[in-house]
Copies of this chain bind each other. A is one copy, B any other.
Amino acid sequence: MVSSTPELLTPDLLPLETVHHVRDTCLCLATQRAARRLARHFDNALRRFDLTNNQFSLLVSINRPVPPAIGQLAPFLAMSASTLTAAVKPLARRGLVMIEPDAEDRRSKRLRITPVGVALMREAVLVWRSAHADYERGLADGAADALRAALAGVEPEG
C-alpha cells in the first residue's frame, strides 16, 4: 500500500499543476507518443519484408523518375543528412538501393531504387495499404483525416 511507505515519497517536487500542464499541452510529447505507436504498428506489419516503417517510407521516397540526392531527400523527410546517410546503408547492403555520384556535381550522391527494391516494394505497398486500413478502422470517423490535416498545419512553408 502506498500509505504504508511514506518514507518513499519525494518531498521536493515540481508543482503537479506544472507537470499536468506539460503533459496536457506539450505538442512534442504528444507527437512522440503517437509516432512511437504508429511506428510499432507499421513495423509489425512490414516485418515479413524485413523492413521498418522508416525504410518503407525511404524506399517510397526514393522511387522517383530522377533519383533524388541526399540533400533533396533529407528536407522532405524532415531528417538530417547524417541520419539519411546512415539510413541508406542497410538498404544498400541488401541491394534495394544504389548510391550513385551525380555526374554533374561529384559532391552530390543520388539514391536509386533497384529492380530488387521495386519488386519488394510492390508487395510491401499492398501490406502497407491493409495495415493502414487496419489502423484507421480502430479510429473514430474522421480522426485520420483530422490528424492528416493537423499535421499538414504544422508543416513549415505550408
Contact = CB atoms under 8 A, between A and B. Distances in A.
Contact of A39 (B28, B30, B54, B121): B28
Contacts of A132: 25-28
B151 A31 contact: yes
Interface in A44-86: 53-54, 57, 60-61, 63-67, 77-79
Contacts of A37: 78, 154, 156
A18 B125 CA distance: 8
Contacts of A10: 65, 67, 112-113, 118
A65 B9 contact: yes
Interface residues of A, number: 74
Given A10-B112, A39-B28, A57-B29, A154 B150 contact: no
21 contacts: A5-B103, A8-B67, A8-B112, A10-B118, A13-B64, A13-B113, A14-B121, A16-B64, A16-B65, A26-B57, A27-B38, A27-B132, A27-B148, A28-B38, A31-B151, A32-B38, A32-B78, A35-B35, A37-B154, A138-B156, A139-B154
Interface of A: 2, 5, 8-10, 12-14, 16, 18-19, 22-23, 25-39, 41-42, 53-54, 57, 60-61, 63-67, 77-79, 100, 103-104, 110, 112-113, 115, 118, 121-122, 125, 128, 132, 135-136, 138-140, 143-144, 146-156
